[in-house]
Amino acid sequence: MNASDAEGPNGPNGPNGPNGPNGPNGRDGRDAGRADAGAPSRPTPPSARATGAGRPRPDARLRRARAAVVILFFANAIAYANVVPRLPEIRDALSLSNTALGSAIATMPVGALLAGLSAGVLGALIGSGRLATLCAVGFGVVVPLIGLADRWWMLAGCLFLLGVLDAVMDAAMNAHGLRVQRGYGRSILNSFHGVWSVGAVTGGVLGTLAAGLGLTLRVHTAAVGVLLAVLAVVAWPLLLPGADDADRPAARDAERPAAGGAAAAAAGARAGLRAALPALLLLGLVLVMTSVVEDTPASWGSALLQDDYAVPAAVAGLAYVAFQAAMTIGRFTGDRVTDVYGPVRVARWGGLLIAVPVGLALLTELAPAVILAFGLAGLGAATLFPAAMHAAGSIPGVRSGDGIAVVSWLARVGFLAAPPLVGFVGDRVGLRVGTAIVVLAGLLIFLLARVLAPAERHPHVRP
């Protein structure tokens, strides 16, 4: 049965067919049994046995792989988050100035930008899941070295390596998470990012407790290293085997030149990447804007409330807390919302939820309005990173790891550029004007939301 037969008036996907909008499994039946639109019928894979509702039910292998991705996202989050509360102690122990500490920290994004684009190639060689797990092991080695650093260059070197590992692991674990999501047949990528948010908070709390209990930095970082190694060992056997794009017919077709050897396969991958570059750049622009939205309350929320709204330091941090709390809630609920309304519609509403409340709050003299607005912005931004990763990893002719590596790299450019840009405007015009960049970012996200429609869709997920 070809695509046109399937979509005919009386075909299985036609308006009067069993899977059409008027049929028992159509949209009015909650999209329970639609076949892949525009694709020939094929047997259901063993990892996706149908449930009573007609939606694929993941088998034990997929459930184990999902647990592995959860572990990897958690490990990635807690690694550096454990170090953050102890940065003042590190500064004092090494007799560094604030400028020297800042320059050491700046080596992290430098390492990330230098290494980030290699994630796609490395993932194609050994598999995204294994690559992410090896990076977690690398974290387990490098984090304890921070506790041993007694010179600026040693600290800077460790942080540079953390940036390298973080960039590669970020792209790799998202690529493997997307592969698991394809097996599930519904959106689950948002929940992985929700786990990352929880891990970041957990790591910060652990670091704070370790400092409060008087644990030396060496003992603390060594314990974190052991924990990361254990998490990696647990995740490794749970990963999906085989190539990342084995379940993507479009990607397999694009790699048919591989019969001519590795050089032909590499040439095919490069050609696919070049053809998809415009789409990837637009997706990257969405993530740059999302980076601006996520970084601004973290880097400037407290200063804005203290300088322009005259609130005490104990209250000023609530802008960031409100943003992170709302974003975490949004990520754990975002999969269901994305399944129902689709990533494009959710992103459009998200862009408005970022731009309108923040824009209105900045016109007032009310600190609670600013805190509430940043909370709503966190809710609006919650699904944007997962949606862009999904779209980048679903472009026909492009390996998932390559697409995700490109947009992830571009997102880091946003995180690197946003703080000095807001600070520059703040010094010359005022911080309230500087943070208004969030409004512009939200409006651009609204306008660019269409690019988040994945080129390869599961039938149960709307565009």
Give the pLDDT band (50/70/90) at residue 336: very high
Judgement on whether residues 290 and 165 belong to the same structural domain of the protein: no
Judgement on whether residues 178 and 95 belong to the same structural domain of the protein: yes
In a domain, 297, yes or no: yes
Q: What domain range includes position 27?
A: 1-40
In a domain, 121, yes or no: yes
Judgement on whether residues 127 and 197 belong to the same structural domain of the protein: yes
Q: Is the dihedral of CA 269, 272, 278, 283 positive or negative?
A: negative
Model pLDDT for residues 283-332, shown as the tens digit of each residue:
999 999 999 998 888 878 888 888 899 888 778 888 888 898 899 999 99
CA 349 to chain centroid, in Å, comes to: 19
Q: Which H or E run includes 29? A: none
Tokens representing residue 334 in the block:
């975002």
Q: What is the mean pLDDT of residues 203-226?
A: 91
Predicted pLDDT of residue 58: 79
The 3-class SS string of 395-425 reads: CCCCCHHHHHHHHHHHHHHHHHHHHHHHHHH
> Which residues contact residue 462 at a Cβ distance below 8 angstroms, ignoring those fewer than 6 apart?
339, 340, 341, 342, 345
Place of tokens 């409004």: 439
Judgement on whether residues 214 and 311 belong to the same structural domain of the protein: no
Model pLDDT for residues 104-138, shown as the tens digit of each residue:
888 888 899 999 888 888 988 999 999 999 999 99
In a domain, 251, yes or no: no
Q: Which residue, among 151, 138, 40, has the nearest Cα to 93 in the 3D structure?
A: 151
Judgement on whether residues 314 and 226 belong to the same structural domain of the protein: no
CA 299 to chain centroid, in Å, comes to: 19
Give the pLDDT band (50/70/90) at residue 254: very low
**What is the tally of structural domains in the chain?**
3
What letter does residue 260 receive in the DSSP assignment? G
| Strand partners of residue 57 | 49
The 3-class SS string of 38-76 reads: CCCCCCCCCCEEECCCCCEEECHHHHHHHHHHHHHHHHH
Judgement on whether residues 133 and 178 belong to the same structural domain of the protein: yes
Predicted pLDDT of residue 246: 66
Judgement on whether residues 23 and 95 belong to the same structural domain of the protein: no
Judgement on whether residues 36 and 68 belong to the same structural domain of the protein: no
Per-state percent for the chain, helix, strand, coil, to nearest 5:
75, 0, 25
Judgement on whether residues 315 and 190 belong to the same structural domain of the protein: no
In a domain, 238, yes or no: yes
The amino acid sitting at 126 is I
Judgement on whether residues 68 and 33 belong to the same structural domain of the protein: no
Predicted pLDDT of residue 49: 44
In a domain, 222, yes or no: yes
What CATH number did the domain enclosing 344 receive? 1.20.1250.20
Could you tell me the pTM of the whole model? Answer: 0.74
Q: Which of the residue ranges 21-35, 235-249, 338-352 would you say has the lowest mean pLDDT? A: 21-35
In a domain, 250, yes or no: no
The end-to-end CA distance of the chain, in Å, is: 24
Judgement on whether residues 292 and 218 belong to the same structural domain of the protein: no
Within 10 angstroms of residue 352's Cβ, the number of other Cβ atoms is: 16
Judgement on whether residues 238 and 305 belong to the same structural domain of the protein: no
Predicted pLDDT of residue 222: 96
Give the pLDDT band (50/70/90) at residue 261: low
In a domain, 266, yes or no: no
In a domain, 81, yes or no: yes
Q: End of a domain among 225, 243, 261?
A: 243
Predicted pLDDT of residue 265: 58
DSSP states along 227-246: HHHHHHHHHGGGSPPS-TTT
